[in-house]
């Protein structure tokens, strides 16, 4: 099929490249002409695993072209809207880019158009879009408006396109449903060759959920709010673990082993960020208000998340005493690993607070430094985690990149001013860090912090605990008293 994708950002470019990979002829369009020029010479505006290859292949095959929106809309029957819907001051989604695409469709298209809303939008947006297109319809266009929310995760976006859990289609005409099924057929039937795996894991075919547009729109906001709620919930429990002397990792395992709950998204830390959860949660709260529904549950989820950065800084302060004049190594800036996206990244809000306290920040991130530098030009960007650690009073782990998992502790120990890891993502554990002579402070891990390895062995001897992982002798000084949790 001939398809246009309007908006060449994380969602739009991934959608365009993947649709071309499954055989469609795709015109990917953006209002940012510089971005289009870069894309035409094969330079991607962001980092996303496997996307580079896919774009190159699409362009080489002639099935992926980059152009301006009016040209794309003129040439294609199906139009995916993938523009940004950032938050307004009051938390509502800014829909001005969606409206501007609608105007472009009205002025550039003739005949029939399938308008597919993929951007995350408030419930009833498809209805409003339909009304807007009907009122200003000077070219006697015939059209359908469909909601097709996107669930990709940055860092595994290509894989998520080829192996989605579900494809949600909110449509109100048979013609629209038939076209949408045609577009997604290779994915729905798992017939496409996924470019991520040499051999795809045996996963069930994705579920196709056909519904009305309002319901499809609600699925997206409700899904993101639910996941955000899980994260805030486990963060609350992590606070309780710190206060009561318990181990959040075991508690999360215990909770998550219940099939009704599941282990995913029960990872405590410095909170959620990115271009989806914080803004979608805020927008959903505003939607609830407009609908006259009491969404105070979600307001709490948001409050808990905002507090994470404050609490983390308080933890650093408690351990380091005076912050002014201290040097801090920051490992990780992106809101999560495998992306360069720093939008609403907790790392950035923590760094801003630390700068206000008078610290010097030396940061390293495998992918996100260029983007972070736009917001935070005043910190030092380093070439490696080791360079960032030079002279540091503490190493702060703010994104759980794999690259950080197995450091050369000896080398690190020689570089830092103080051997202290404050781990905002529980990437490490005290058992792993302490034998290397570093003090460890994680999230919700009071038990590991107050028990030495010898004590664990004592318990094991009593036959209560499997401590096969505790093979090294405990460091001479227990961190019981020094740990600030």
Interacting residues toward ligand NAD by CB under 6 A: 6-12, 30-32, 35, 69, 82-85, 97, 100-101, 119-120, 150, 152, 154, 275-276
Catalytic residue among 28, 276, 293, 382: 276
Alpha carbon 414 to chain centroid, angstroms: 34
Smallest separation, CB 72 to ligand NAD (Å): 9
Shortest distance in whole angstroms from residue 266 CB to ligand NAD: 21
CB of 166 within 8 A of CB of 177?
no
Neighbours of 310 (CB within 10 A): 12
Q: How far is CA 411 from CA 386, 388, 401, in A?
A: 8, 13, 19
Which residue lies nearest ligand NAD, judged by its C-beta? 9
- Of the pair 70, 190, the CB lying nearest ligand NAD is at 70
Kindly state the tokens that stand for 293. Answer: 């529904």
How far from 76 is each of 15, 102, 313, 373, CA to CA, in Å? Answer: 16, 15, 51, 38
Between 162 and 428, whose beta carbon lies closer to ligand NAD? Answer: 162
Residue 84 Cβ vs ligand NAD, minimum distance, rounded to whole Å: 4
Q: What spatial distance separates the first Cα and last Cα of the chain, rounded to whole Å?
A: 57
Name which of 12 and 268 has its Cβ closer to ligand NAD: 12
Closest separation in Å from C-beta 443 to ligand NAD: 24
C-alpha 93/C-alpha 82 separation (Å) is 14
- The Cβ of residue 389 has, within 10 Å, a number of other Cβ atoms equal to 25
CB of 118 to ligand NAD, least distance (A): 6
How far CA 114 is from CA of 137, 142, 180, 283, 385, in Å, comes to: 15, 9, 9, 26, 49
Query: Is 276 in the active site?
Result: yes
Q: Which is nearer to ligand NAD, 8 or 180 (CB)?
A: 8
- Long-range Cβ pairs for the range 40-43 (8 Å, 24+): 40/66
If the CB atoms of residues 12 and 170 are measured against ligand NAD, the closer one turns out to be 12
Specify the DSSP element, H or E, that contains 188. helix 174-188
Alpha-carbon distance of 116 to 119, in angstroms, equals 9
Say how far apart CA 72 and CA 382 lie, in whole Å. 42
Least Å from the CB of residue 104 to ligand NAD: 7
Looking at the Cβ atoms of 32 and 53, the one nearer to ligand NAD is: 32
> Which residues does the annotation mark as catalytic?
276
């Amino acid at each position: 099929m001939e398809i246009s994708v309007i908006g060449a950002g994380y969602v739009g470019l991934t959608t365009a490249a993947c649709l071309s990979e499954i055989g469609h002829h795709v015109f990917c369009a953006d209002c940012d002409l510089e971005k289009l020029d870069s894309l035409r010479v094969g330079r991607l505006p962001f980092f996303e695993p496997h996307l580079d290859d896919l774009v190159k292949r699409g362009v080489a095959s002639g099935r992926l072209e980059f152009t301006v929106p009016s040209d794309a809309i003129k040439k294609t029957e199906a139009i995916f809207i993938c523009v940004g819907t950032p938050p307004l001051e009051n938390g509502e989604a800014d829909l001005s880019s969606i409206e501007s695409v609608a105007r472009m469709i009205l002025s550039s298209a003739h005949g029939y158009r399938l308008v597919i809303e993929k951007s995350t939008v408030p419930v009833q947006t498809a209805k409003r879009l339909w009304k807007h297109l009907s009122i200003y319809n000077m070219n006697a266009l015939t059209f359908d408006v469909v909601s097709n929310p996107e669930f990709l995760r940055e860092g595994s976006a290509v894989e998520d396109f080829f192996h989605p859990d579900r494809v949600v289609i909110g449509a109100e005409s048979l013609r629209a449903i038939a076209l949408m099924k045609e577009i997604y057929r290779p994915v729905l039937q798992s017939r496409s060759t996924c470019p991520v795996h040499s051999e795809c894991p045996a996963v069930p075919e994705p579920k196709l959920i056909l519904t009305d547009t309002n319901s499809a729109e609600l699925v997206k906001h409700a899904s993101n709010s639910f996941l955000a709620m899980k994260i805030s919930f486990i963060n609350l429990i992590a606070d309780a673990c710190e206060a009561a002397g318990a181990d959040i990792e075991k508690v999360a395992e215990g909770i998550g082993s219940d099939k009704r709950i599941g282990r995913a998204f029960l990872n405590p830390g410095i909170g959620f960020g990115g271009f989806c959860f914080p803004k979608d949660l805020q927008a959903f709260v505003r939607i609830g208000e407009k609908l006259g529904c009491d969404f105070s549950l979600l307001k709490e989820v948001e409050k808990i998340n905002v507090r994470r950065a404050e609490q983390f800084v308080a933890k650093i302060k408690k351990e380091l005493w005076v912050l002014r004049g201290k040097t801090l190594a920051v490992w990780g800036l992106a809101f999560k690993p495998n992306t360069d996206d720093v939008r609403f990244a907790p790392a950035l809000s923590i760094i801003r607070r630390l700068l206000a306290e008078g610290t010097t920040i030396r940061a390293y991130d495998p992918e996100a430094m260029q983007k972070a530098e736009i917001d935070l030009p005043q910190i030092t960007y380093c070439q490696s985690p080791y360079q960032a650690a030079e002279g540091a009073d503490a190493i702060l782990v703010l994104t759980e990149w794999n690259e950080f998992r197995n450091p050369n502790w000896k080398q690190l120990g020689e570089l830092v001013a103080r051997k202290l890891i404050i781990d905002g993502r529980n990437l490490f554990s005290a058992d792993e860090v302490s034998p290397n002579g570093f003090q460890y402070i994680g999230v919700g891990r009071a038990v590991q912090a107050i028990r030495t390895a010898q004590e664990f062995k004592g318990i094991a001897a009593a036959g209560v605990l499997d401590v096969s992982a505790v093979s090294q002798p405990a460091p001479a000084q227990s961190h019981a008293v020094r740990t600030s949790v």
